[in-house]
Chain A
């Protein structure tokens, strides 16, 4: 087969587009973090100026021009500051007086918003008066060096490898080999991760540079103070955006330090000999997960496009296959969308929640790895709930034994038999809440039917649902009762599906009723039994409503189950991370049960 040139061109074009998209996204991320740095530094410098500049002598607010000019010029010469600064008195520039003045519109906007804004390529923060009542000017900051993620080594390596692999995969379009495409896939993954590492570096730099700037300014304020006096309020104002704390001496470069909230960015500030502070803030690079997803997705678009082109090149030669494949995807699409939206999506979200921790009242969540799972393992209540759930799940096999017996009795088609089956199905048709409330009444210590019977029989009353020894048994019994009709109906259907020829043959072979049941009926019923068992177990492990309405997990967690624990952890303790982790644990358990079913069912065979 000749390789179709247009397909190759399309593959290479797709690859280039994908690479370009990755680079654009990385560049945009770099801009964003540079902007964030400029805005923060502008705000910090503005606070610094407000602290170090003496108030105006003849006015109620604002500063006199001369001292402000002195401070602004001094700032421009401060060594180590990462930004180029311009200070505006009103709208007039002070550092470079011949420079353009701030436009009145921009000034009004900054004044109106009370926060730093990005104006004409620089971060502009409002300059407040001493008491932060009025905006009297502005501070503009522009990062001196642009640390773009595009220049990161990781990104460059990823870029080269991806382009080479893309070329290889593009040339291979039309050939049956899959290896070039897989290589390209791996290379693109590398590009995506490389770009992410670059973005992460930029994010880190953004925080670190601001910390350095803040340290310089805080030290400067401290140095201006009279000896022996630490102007704490002033320091706090300059260091706004970070937490200040007294700390032991350390290096002056910013560092990362583990804390209770995750990883903090910390820089040490030397006030004077032996007097050290530290500035501590949440680093930008702790919240870059989104970029990872975006960059890897964009990088994978290239191999995706190549794969589509490759498939298309083959499909052009086989139009019928193309049509049927397209039709198959078309038919699958609604179901696939449903599964993705309501099954895969929530699962991924739960996985995300499970490895993060959020604090109530604080936006965002930070990555904590397996810490939530460790919390679960340490929590005795979780273990109690797991044990209770397992014991509760025993309701399934117990119910099945009863249901199979009932099905054997009720498998005929007489009117009475059908009526009995319908009556057995009633609890299945009623809501779990109704069932729970009904049985609460049955079990009630004083007015309950059950205790009424016990008393009449001369036995002592039992507080079924409040006695820790009976509560779980009582709840489990209700579950057996509630599912009996459903299980019976399924077993009846299963029994009726067994061809009578097998039972006739067994009778002719001399098997009595019991041995026919044991050797023929039960083995042939196995797929049905497994179905009832697995669906029942899945339901039992997820039980919530019944327990919630009957006992709410009381007394003292005696009937607490996993689903209830997830609910309490999430919505009463507001600990979403551990709740998500417990949800994943439940998911793993159910996955195990289902896997078992698939394994066993694969071995069973149909009727001959």
Chain B
């Protein structure tokens, strides 16, 4: 077990192109489960490969435990990596796949056999040991890939979207299994995914990456409730946060609006803080949007789409050019094209500046 620290990591593949990772610093504590979340192409896999030693950073350092391993070959880093496509050696049986890394470390044959059997039992793949990867189902392959990492008893685990190619219910099952594994192994795990559900459900902390830069690191609750910028706000949640843009202007006197309102299409949203003028972005989680009678809310919007999901209903609204989604509990009878009032609690409002950075609700007096 060891902590993993990345210091000012930059990786440039092609000098003509944007850097895949820029000046990224991240500390993963010993035994922590950290999720690297970001859309495809954001550089999260590159970070992982730099930690594993499969890529050499252009600049910056990788520290595992107490040791700077930036120039150390992968074999000496003692971290295990689970790949997106499993990368099980097709010519080897499950048993040999599980024992491969141990064989590379020249462990005695008996030890290898013992450890492989243990791991197989733990992952319930003992009856698959003599098969080849081609004869396994997707879930079985993923278990074997997991087992290959576990058998090594590494100082840290690196997961590169290991569940991306599995179908939905298998993903849920394996997610739980992975978490159970983390609890019992108590080892450092860095988990790359583009799936915010995985990030929210699995990560002790989530690090959000965008265009090679680290946007926010925090617990799932922090990242969800206090997104550092518009990108993070939109990335988390399904659907993500509604972001409205508008101009903050003098309200001309209203009750408790701090003297400012933002005009977004047909909506006139009172600002909780009076410190801001000009262009501003407002964030509002769909579950915090409520519907009411015409003229009774902050403005009226037309219903574009109604998506009944059973436990909840998603209502897509158009407020004269500003699109937003409301998540209403249960099944709601609404007609497309109908005009409804929009309401919400003011404390649920997130404010971002024009560039997308988070604004504090009230500045220090």
Contacts and interface: CB of A to CB of B under 8 A. Distances in A.
Interface stretch (A89-97, A497-505, A591-599): A497-505
B52 A605 contact: no
A607 B101 contact: no
Given A505-B87, A508-B74, A520-B89, A606 B134 contact: yes
Given A526-B91, A605-B91, A508 B52 contact: yes
Contact of A505 (B76, B83, B91, B132): B83
B85 A508 contact: no
A507 B81 CA distance: 10
A225 B85 CA distance: 105
Contact of B104 (A499, A502, A504, A510): A510
A606 B80 CA distance: 25
A607 B90 contact: yes
A520 B90 CA distance: 9
B53 interface: yes
B88 interface: yes
A523 interface: yes
B191 to A, nearest CB: 15
B148 interface: yes
Contact of A502 (B53, B79, B89, B148): B89
B101 A509 contact: yes
B105 interface: yes
A524 interface: yes
Nearest to A507: B74
Interface in B141-200: 141, 148, 152, 158
Residue of B100, B141, B158 contacting most chain A CB atoms (<10 Å): B100
A511 B90 contact: no
* Interface size of B as a range: 20 to 34
B75 interface: yes
A370 to B, nearest CB: 45
Interface in B46-72: 49, 52-54
Contacts of B87: 499, 501-502, 504-505
A232 interface: no
A462 interface: no
B75 A608 contact: no
Interface string B96-108: 0000110011000
B133 interface: yes
Contacts of A248: none
Residue of A507, A515, A608 contacting most chain B CB atoms (<10 Å): A608
Contact of B75 (A502, A510, A607): A510
B285 interface: no
Classify the secondary structure of A's interface with B.
Answer: helix
A509 B54 contact: no
Interface string A570-608: 000000000000000000000000000000000011111
Contacts of B88: 608
B213 interface: no
Residue of A505, A509, A604, A607 contacting most chain B CB atoms (<10 Å): A509
Nearest to A526: B91
A608 B141 contact: yes
A390 interface: no
B22 interface: no
Contacts of B148: 509
A55 B14 CA distance: 114
A247 to B, nearest CB: 75
Contacts of A507: 53-54, 74-75
Contacts, number: 74
B18 to A, nearest CB: 22
B86 interface: yes
B134 A505 contact: no
Nearest to B145: A505
Contact of A508 (B81, B105, B141): B81
A509 B104 contact: yes
A608 to B, nearest CB: 4
A67 interface: no
A506 B53 CA distance: 12
Interface string B205-237: 000000000000000000000000000000000
Contacts of A509: 80, 100-101, 104, 148, 152
Given A508-B74, A512-B75, A501 B90 contact: no
Nearest to A605: B134
A505 B89 CA distance: 9
A509 B150 CA distance: 11
A141 to B, nearest CB: 79
B75 to A, nearest CB: 4
Given A509-B152, A510-B75, A515-B104, A504 B83 contact: yes
Contacts of B101: 509-510
B52 A608 contact: no
Contacts of A607: 90
A522 to B, nearest CB: 10
B109 to A, nearest CB: 16
A570 B74 CA distance: 64
Contacts of A504: 49, 54, 81, 83, 87
B104 A511 contact: yes
A508 B80 contact: yes
Interface in A470-505: 499, 501-502, 504-505
B79 A608 contact: no
Nearest to B136: A608
A516 to B, nearest CB: 9
A511 B78 CA distance: 12
A242 to B, nearest CB: 72
Contacts of B76: 510
A499 B76 CA distance: 24
Interface in A431-482: none
Contacts of A605: 90-91, 132, 134
Contacts of B81: 504-505, 508
Contact of B54 (A508, A510, A604): A508
Contacts of B49: 504
A486 to B, nearest CB: 25
A519 B92 CA distance: 9
Interface string A334-372: 000000000000000000000000000000000000000
B74 A523 contact: no
B57 to A, nearest CB: 16
Nearest to B133: A608
B93 to A, nearest CB: 11
Contacts of A515: 104
A519 B97 CA distance: 11
A583 B269 CA distance: 94
Contacts of A501: 83, 85, 87
Contacts of A523: 89, 91-92
A502 B87 CA distance: 5
Contact of B100 (A506, A524, A526, A608): A506
A20 to B, nearest CB: 57
B105 A510 contact: yes
A511 B74 CA distance: 9
Contacts of B75: 507, 510-512
Contacts of B134: 605-606, 608
Contacts of B158: 508
Contacts of B133: 608
Given A526-B91, A607-B90, A508 B79 contact: yes
Contacts of B83: 501, 504-505
Nearest to A520: B89
Contacts of B54: 504, 507-508
A524 B152 contact: no
9 contacts: A499-B85, A502-B87, A504-B49, A508-B74, A510-B76, A512-B73, A605-B91, A607-B90, A608-B134
Interface of B: 49, 52-54, 73-76, 78-81, 83, 85-92, 100-101, 104-105, 132-134, 141, 148, 152, 158
Given A501-B87, A507-B75, A605-B90, 5 more contacts: A508-B53, A509-B148, A510-B101, A512-B73, A608-B90
3 tightest A-B CB contacts, nearest first: A509-B101, A510-B75, A501-B87
